[in-house]
Every structure is written in C-alpha cells, then in structure tokens.
Amino acid sequence: MQSGLNEHLSRLGEIFAARGDFVQTLQFMQQMSDNIIKQLLGLPDWEKAKVDLAAIADQTAYVEYYRWLTYLLILILDLVICLAACLGLAKQSRWLLTTMMVCGVLTLILSWASLGADVATAVGTSDFCVAPDKFLMNQTKDVVSSDIVHYYLYCSQTLPNPFQQSLTVFQRSLTTMQIQIQGLLQFAVPLFPTAERDLLSIQHLLNNSEASLHQLTALLDCRGLNKDYLDALIGVCYDGVEGLLYLCLFSLLAACAFSVMLCAIPRAWRQIANRDRDYDDIDDGDPFNPQSRRMTSHHSHQANMHSFCSYSSSMGSQTSLHPPTQAVTNAPLSEYMNQSALFGGNPRYENVPLIGRGSPPPSYSPTMRATYLSMTEDQIRHFGEDFRA
C-alpha cells in the first residue's frame, strides 16, 4: 500500500503543480497514508510467535490414536491370558499354567508401567488446568504484551480492545482519503484529464485496503479465539483428565487382577500336585482300575488259600482225635471247583458242609469248636440251608 500510494501521489503532484490547492490535498493524503502505516506497524509482531497450533493438534491426534490402539491391544492380551489361565486350571495343565504365569508377570509389569505413565500425565495436566491463564501469560510474556493476552483469554465486554485505537485510526484515515479522491475526481479531472488514471488507481487501492481492514478487524476480535480456547480447555481439563483417570483405574484393576492370579496359580499348582499324589496312593485300591482289581483278587485268593490250608491242617489234626462218622457231601469237590472256575473268581462251596469247606465261623473259640464238632450231619445241613436263605 505504501509503495503504490507514494508512486501515484508523486505523479499527481507533477500534474497538479500549477494548482496549489490540489497539491495541498495530495500532501494531506500523504499524511493520512503515513498515519495508517504507523498504526499498522504498532501492531504486535506475530512473527516472533513460532508456535504452530495446527501442528500441535495434528501431533496430539497422532499420539491419541496410537494410545487408543495400545490400550486396546493390552485389554485383548489381558483377556486372552485370563481365559488361558482358566483353561489351564480346568484341564490341570502344568505347562499351560507355567506359560500363563510368565505372561502374567510381563503383563503385570506392563500394567504398573502404564499406571505410572497415566498418573504422571494426569498430574501434569491437572497442574496445568489449575491455572491455565497464568501458564499461558508466562509463556507469552516475551512475545506479546500482557494486555493483549488478557484480552484474548477473558474476552469480556468490560475489557478494552488493545487494537481498537489503531483500527479506528485506520478506518478514519481511509474514509478521509476516499473523500479527498472523490473531490479530486469531481473537480480536478475536468481540468487535468491525465490525472484520472492515477486517481482511479488510488481509489481502487483504498477500496482494497478497506476490505483488508474488515478482515483484520474480524481476525483480531477475541470472540472466535476465546471460544476455541475454552473448547480446548474443556477437552483437556475435563474430558482428557477424566479419560486419564479411567485409564489409571483400568491399569490398577489389571495390575491387581494379575497379582491375585500370580498368587493363586502356585496354590493351584500345589493342590494339583497333592491330588496327583493322592491318586497315586489310592490307585492300588481303585475298584475301577483293572490292575488293582486283579491284584486285590490275587491277594484275597492267596489269603483264602492260606486260611484254607491252615484250617485244613488244623482239622486234620482234630480228626485224628475225633474222627467223623462219615464224609457227607452232596456233590464232589471237583464239581464245585469247575463251577467256580466257569463263573470266575475263587471256588465257592455253598453246598459243602462247614467241615468240608475248611472255613471256620467267625469269632472262632474253643467252646464254639466243641459245639461245632458235636453237631450232627442233619443239623449242619439245616444250618447251611438257613444260612443260604
């Protein structure tokens, strides 16, 4: 504006050299132009503010995206480890429990680390949110004056606009210059037709300057910037801090859950080991184990044979003292042996008298022995039938 206006004014001064009133008008316009330039130079030098808020917003969105993705992966990992630990406990798999215990230790360390990072970020953000205005004023005190920063931070109707004086002088100067150009176009062009081109160029330049003035006034207004500032504060100090607190709670719950799991897995391991040892101890007497049934049957058969032999020997010695009247059997012994072998198990002697079996009754005593030996064959047969019934 300054260079173009000075060029046209110098050319018009040569054209209007014979008319002093027109030259005086051009000098007045030069003064208005210098006044406008002076007011514009009085505005703050924004080139010193090297902070790019758009770049900061893009970086924040980039970090937030990867932060969200990281916590989502941590949540999935925690769920997988918990499900695998439950599966290991259900299947009583030691290698699966060992693997999950190692993964649980790593996840526990990661949970405590994320909790520390979230707490540190929340504390730093809370410190900023306690007095954000003071923090911004301290950061910009060497770049912009405090009254301008205060005007944008609070944007109150009672606060004076620090740019109001400069914008008012700019507007009045432009208006005065446009009035002077209109007078010259009306009175000087009929006398100096060659001055019309320069006067129209100055008028076009003043119109463009007025449009730029309106744009500058809108940009310097505090309402738009203050609204963006308040929205940013709400997003950081309310939603942001609340989100950080939720992340801290998630990390704390995950750390506590994995601590409980790491304490419970060794106890479950010991219970599994004790249960296996108990199974090994009772395996020989398990009725559903074929090997244990065979061993039990074998031991009982040996015990019965030993008892039978010992009792037969004792009965042999007794028959030498008290020989029986006659051997009473309804069927040969081999028949009962064959029947027992056919159905499996030890030989059964249901139809054989007690003397022929060689199996004394329980609670065997000398008195019962004498009573038993004094019984007749018919009494013994009736006793066996009653016993079978």
Q: Give a three-class secondary structure readout of 368-385.
A: HHHHHHHCCHHHHHHHHH
Please give the full DSSP string across 42-86, using - where no structure is assigned: TS--GGG----HHHHHHHHHHHHHHHHHHHHHHHHHHHHHHHHHH
Q: What is the pLDDT of residue 138?
A: 86
CA proximity to 223, closest of 137, 136, 152:
152
The pTM is what?
0.56
For residues 167 and 185, the answer to whether their CB atoms sit within 8 Å is no
User: What does the angle CA 288 – CA 293 – CA 298 come to, to the nearest 5 degrees?
Assistant: 175
- Burial grade of 111 (CB within 10 A; 0-12, 13-18, 19 or more): buried
Which tokens belong to 260?
């409980």
Residues with Cβ within 8 Å of residue 21, at least 6 apart in sequence: none
Q: How far apart are CA 34 and CA 43, in angstroms?
A: 15
CA pair distance 383, 372, nearest whole angstrom: 11
pLDDT, tens digit only, all 389 positions of the chain? 677 788 888 888 888 888 888 888 888 888 888 888 888 887 776 666 667 777 888 888 898 899 899 999 989 988 898 888 888 778 877 788 888 888 888 989 999 999 999 999 999 998 889 989 888 888 888 778 888 888 888 888 788 888 888 888 889 988 998 998 888 888 888 888 888 888 888 889 888 988 988 998 888 888 888 898 899 899 889 988 998 999 999 999 988 988 888 888 777 777 777 766 655 555 444 444 454 444 444 444 444 444 444 444 444 444 444 444 444 444 444 444 444 444 444 444 445 454 444 545 555 455 555 565 565 556 666 655 665 55
